[in-house]
Amino acid sequence: MSSLPAPTPATERHAASHATDDPYLWLEDIEGDRAMQWVKAHNVKSLGTLQSDPRYEKLHADALRIVEATDRIAMPDIRGHTIYNFWQDPAHVRGILRRTTPVSYRSANPEWELVLDVDSLSARDGANWVFHGTTCLRPDERRCLVALSNGGKDADEMREFDVVTKQFVDGGFRLPESKGGATWVDENTLLVWRDFGPGTLTKSGYPFVVKRLKRGQPLDQAMEVFRGSPDHVAANAFTLRDADGRLQAVLASRAVTFYEGEIWLLRDDGPAVQLPFPTRHAIRGLVDGQLVFTTEIAWNGFETGDLLAYDLAALKSDPASAKPALVLRPGKRESIEGVTVTRNALVVNLSENVKGAAYVYRHGANGWTRTQLALPTNATISLGSASHESDELFVTVSSYLLPNSLWLVDAASGKVEQVKSMPERFDASALEMTQYEATSADGTQVPYFVVGPRAMPRDGSNPTVLYGYGGYQVSLLPGYSGTVGKLWLESGGVYAVANTRGGGEFGPAWHQAAQGENRHRAHEDFAAVAQDLIARKITSPRRLGIMGGSQGGLFMGVAMTQHPELFNAAVIQVPLFDMMRFHKLLAGASWMAEYGNPDIPEQRAWIAKYSPYQALEAGRKYPEAFIHTSTKDDRVHPGHARKAVARLEEIGYPVLFYENTDGGHSAAANLKETAKRMALEWTYLTRKLKDERPPTP
């Protein structure tokens, strides 16, 4: 297998000049008149091109039918002896919160009781509310904080809601729009971390001050109980409650970087006390008095990725002397993908070579015991809502060709039962899923999946879309997508997913291998997968396209600028692109732990080697990309996507661009917008990869 050509040195040449002399900084003015006129003009052009394609209407109709289908699984949220569900369909575009009994839920047609209608609330308030969920006070979970985002932004406002009266509480807690959150201490007390005014947000735009807010108290009179600093990423607080909902501890978290943090015990009788957790960790739950967490670094004799547990009483009594116990040590090709607690058990979703399994752990006098749940194999397992009243929990099972099914699991007895299943959205009878491995530049074996026709020709002719993300310890596990199947696979397309370093498929070490100065390894992994697809003659550069969003959008930008010879199409969704300025835009400062700090010369040098915006130069054979973003994205600045398009046009390359004026980081505020985005993407990919020759203008 021949080696890939080296990436262009253009990135380094352009980095210094464009960072200080960027002619497109005005496109960072999110809703400025000049920038929005530019957006509107590009939307008209790109929508005109894609929506006039004769295939768009069918693709859109298929996408809309699938995302709005009323026979999909209503995912359950167990609250006491009631099942809640948030639901969207053509009649409820923004959605409704509803509930039913466990017995009714398991029937073919549950009898739902309406609790909150977000469409009606939006009409009453004159706002485009996007439901961000509820935070409810255990054990009765009658009083909840409802989070509402205007247009899908990360920032939201929170209002107290009574699920019995099904009304917002008159004179109840109400927190104005902000990034941050709140948690209940008791019926009359919240811990709140919000924008409290000048000097209370970090450089990343997140709160670093936590206050105690009493019922009836104005927000500006809340008492400060904990703080970080403007140079940290954020601070927040959370409570630990036992199975009966009794408060066992109030903790605060200080995120020093995106991955490094501290945990502090908040006490009524004295100052906060820092608890002995590793700097990189994740708290997973409290069961049988055991506080379960993972360590994401080697620490105190434990290995990266270990699942550990402290006795909470001992930890509170004498933090310096408390010693954690090992619960689980994953193997080199394993990863803990999820952990949840029932009344008496700990349930762990363990990915084994990117295939799912679930285990029940029980704590006793002699430590922890483990049993495996008899769930389907060669599929992705996802842990859902768990009961505090019993040891029951819901689990979903799926793969690229296996529609989602919902299982009810009894962690006490080990009994598993399928209770719901989603109908097939596309004909998969002639399709197969295969796992391969590609050899990266340093010899690392990188797994990837290919989904396509069982009898596909091995002559390089198959139109193929390669999806990637490659960061933040996010695992790309096999999952069913009715739209990918219907809009692409069913008509002869091939879909591939790369499990590169930077992700979490093999635990924290797999992620950390591509952080900071080693980011190039993830890029090399992705290129190696593309090359392997071509070497196996599954596809060819003419028929190969790439797709990814957010960090995955950066991934696509790097792939397109470093190896344009491998691809003929690129869907770049809500991307990072200008890595010389990412830390100065919106939440970007919080991501320096992933990429590095461009203000530090040594780190700037390694970022400059791949930053796509600076790498764009005339004379390369870039594919005509489709780049899209959202005006309301308050996480990844839309200026990244806009400037990429402007730079491509400046140096003479055609590009398609679409910016949704609502939708936040998901680029869609409701199902209709989601269907439109999908139809645009797959119309573009059909034109670029399936057509025998490019369509005429």
Confidence band of 118 (pLDDT split at 50, 70, 90):
very high
The answer on pLDDT for 1 being more than 50 is no
pLDDT, residue 152, reads 87
Of 585, 670, 681, 580, the closest CA to residue 628 belongs to: 681
- Strand-strand pairing, 189-193 and 209-214: antiparallel
Helix, strand, coil share (%) of the chain residues, nearest 5: 25, 35, 40
Domain that holds residue 51: 33-64+425-690
In a domain, 12, yes or no: no
Same domain, 372 and 453: no
In a domain, 633, yes or no: yes
- Model confidence pLDDT, tens digit, residues 268-291: 988 999 999 999 999 999 999 999
The answer on pLDDT for 13 being more than 90 is no
User: At residue 206, what is the residue type?
Assistant: Y
Confidence band of 352 (pLDDT split at 50, 70, 90):
very high
DSSP states of 539-608: --GGGEEEEEETHHHHHHHHHHHH-GGG-SEEEEES----TTTGGGSGGGGGGHHHH--TTSHHHHHHHH
- Model confidence pLDDT, tens digit, residues 379-436: 999 999 999 999 999 999 999 999 999 999 999 999 999 999 999 999 999 999 999 9
pLDDT, residue 5, reads 35
Question: How many CB atoms within 10 Å of residue 424?
Answer: 15
Same domain, 616 and 507: yes
In a domain, 299, yes or no: no
Confidence band of 634 (pLDDT split at 50, 70, 90):
confident
Same domain, 548 and 593: yes
In a domain, 391, yes or no: yes
User: At residue 136, what is the residue type?
Assistant: C
Rounded to whole angstroms, the Cα distance separating 544 from 465 reads: 6
User: At residue 103, what is the residue type?
Assistant: V
Kindly state the percentage of the chain with pLDDT values over 90: 92
Of 85, 90, 123, the closest CA to residue 104 belongs to: 85
The answer on pLDDT for 4 being more than 50 is no
Q: Is 42 annotated as catalytic? A: no
What is the token pair recorded at 578? 């200008």
Query: Of 423, 457, 485, which residue sits at a domain end?
Result: 423
Q: Considering the chain, what is the average pLDDT of its residues?
A: 94
In a domain, 194, yes or no: no
What is the token pair recorded at 612? 């796509």
Start-to-end C-alpha separation, the chain: 38
- Strand-strand pairing, 656-660 and 626-630: parallel
The answer on pLDDT for 2 being more than 90 is no
In a domain, 120, yes or no: yes
In a domain, 208, yes or no: no
Count: domains in the chain: 3
CA 297, 301, 307, 313 torsion-angle sign = negative
Query: Of 119, 148, 175, which residue sits at a domain end?
Result: 175
pLDDT, residue 11, reads 34
Confidence band of 16 (pLDDT split at 50, 70, 90):
very low
Kindly state the percentage of the chain with pLDDT values over 70: 95
Same domain, 538 and 550: yes
Same domain, 46 and 170: no
The residue assigned the tokens 């010899």 is 443
Facing residues of 648 across strands?
Answer: none
The catalytically annotated residue of 46, 550, 611, 630 is 550
pLDDT, residue 18, reads 45
Rounded to whole angstroms, the Cα distance separating 48 from 63 reads: 19
Rounded to whole angstroms, the Cα distance separating 264 from 597 reads: 28
Residues 465 and 451: beta-carbon distance below 8 Å: no
The residue assigned the tokens 């470093």 is 562
pLDDT, residue 312, reads 98
pLDDT, residue 537, reads 98
Of 300, 391, 410, the closest CA to residue 343 belongs to: 391
In a domain, 329, yes or no: no
Same domain, 600 and 524: yes
Same domain, 44 and 155: no
What is the token pair recorded at 668? 């869609």
Choice among 368-377, 550-559, 574-583, 684-693 with the minimum mean pLDDT: 684-693
Same domain, 640 and 496: yes
Sheet holding 223-227, edge to edge: 181-186, 189-193, 209-214, 223-227
Residues 623 and 563: beta-carbon distance below 8 Å: no
Facing residues of 161 across strands?
Answer: 144, 168
Residues 664 and 152: beta-carbon distance below 8 Å: yes
CA dihedral 271, 295, 474, 494 (to 10 degrees): -170
Of 594, 354, 556, the closest CA to residue 473 belongs to: 594
Confidence band of 17 (pLDDT split at 50, 70, 90):
very low
DSSP states of 666-679: GT-SSHHHHHHHHH
What is the token pair recorded at 357? 């399994």
Rounded to whole angstroms, the Cα distance separating 468 from 552 reads: 6
Q: Is 550 annotated as catalytic? A: yes
Same domain, 431 and 353: no
Residues 115 and 84: beta-carbon distance below 8 Å: yes
The catalytically annotated residue of 18, 232, 583, 665 is 665
Of 675, 590, 663, the closest CA to residue 149 belongs to: 663
Confidence band of 668 (pLDDT split at 50, 70, 90):
low
Phi, psi of 587, deg, nearest 5: -80, 5
SS3 374: coil
Query: Of 368, 391, 423, which residue sits at a domain end?
Result: 423
Rounded to whole angstroms, the Cα distance separating 105 from 112 reads: 8
SS3 115: strand
pLDDT, residue 669, reads 65
Of 358, 400, 404, 403, the closest CA to residue 377 belongs to: 358
Choice among 2-6, 338-342, 581-585, 617-621 with the minimum mean pLDDT: 2-6
What is the token pair recorded at 461? 């002719």
pLDDT, residue 696, reads 45
- Model confidence pLDDT, tens digit, residues 226-284: 999 999 999 999 999 999 999 999 999 999 999 999 999 999 988 999 999 999 999 99
What is the token pair recorded at 130? 């996007």
- Model confidence pLDDT, tens digit, residues 591-611: 999 999 999 999 999 999 999
HSE (side-chain half, CA atoms, 13 Å) at 173: 30
CATH code, domain carrying 494: 3.40.50.1820
Same domain, 429 and 417: no
Confidence band of 666 (pLDDT split at 50, 70, 90):
low
pLDDT, residue 8, reads 33
Same domain, 431 and 558: yes
Residues 445 and 423: beta-carbon distance below 8 Å: no
Rounded to whole angstroms, the Cα distance separating 107 from 117 reads: 23
Residues 630 and 574: beta-carbon distance below 8 Å: yes
Rounded to whole angstroms, the Cα distance separating 337 from 357 reads: 10
pLDDT, residue 23, reads 96
Of 227, 196, 229, the closest CA to residue 210 belongs to: 227
Question: How many CB atoms within 10 Å of residue 378?
Answer: 11
- Model confidence pLDDT, tens digit, residues 353-390: 999 999 999 999 889 999 999 999 889 999 999 999 99
Same domain, 43 and 86: no
